[in-house]
Amino acid sequence: QVQLQESGPGLVRPSQTLSLTCTVSGGSISSAYYWTWIRHLPGKGLEWMGYVFSSATTYYNPSLKSRLIISADTSKNQFSLKLSSVTAADTAVYYCARYYYDSSGVNWIDPWGQGTLVTVSS
């Protein structure tokens, strides 16, 4: 059973870079899935941030693309997020998750990590 766990600082200063790591257990990030970051903004809904697949190919939400880097480390079975120039608007619960998609149009996100709250504040 695949499990994901986020780790990283819970507090980031404005204008700094938010860095999170997702450790995957019970499965390999080299498998045919898309390893994804999603956040839940306070009082708002879920926002897809981006994903990495085949260990190197990435896709990003256009609204975050200029500030976001997602990468994978197959040796550690981890993937990571770096979001630069953060502001209070980036305060959110950040989730890592596994995304599946096939040519029939079936696509789903499962499992999710438990989520980690990151607060941007001085």
Supply the minimum distance, in Å, between the C-beta of residue 102 and other proteins.
10
Cβ-based nearer residue to other proteins, 4 or 120: 4
Q: For other proteins, give the closer residue by CB, 16 or 67.
A: 67
Min dist CB 17 to other proteins, Å, is 23
Strands (E) located in 1-122: 3-7, 11-12, 18-25, 34-40, 46-53, 57-60, 68-73, 78-83, 92-101, 107-112, 116-120
* Cβ-based nearer residue to other proteins, 44 or 75: 44
Q: Which residues bind other proteins (CB under 8 A)?
A: 36, 40, 45-48, 51, 59, 61-62, 95, 99, 101, 105-115
Close Cβ partners of 50 (under 8 Å, ≥ 6 residues apart): 36, 37, 58, 59, 60, 61, 64, 65, 68, 70, 81
Q: How far is the CB of 101 from other proteins (least distance, A)?
A: 7
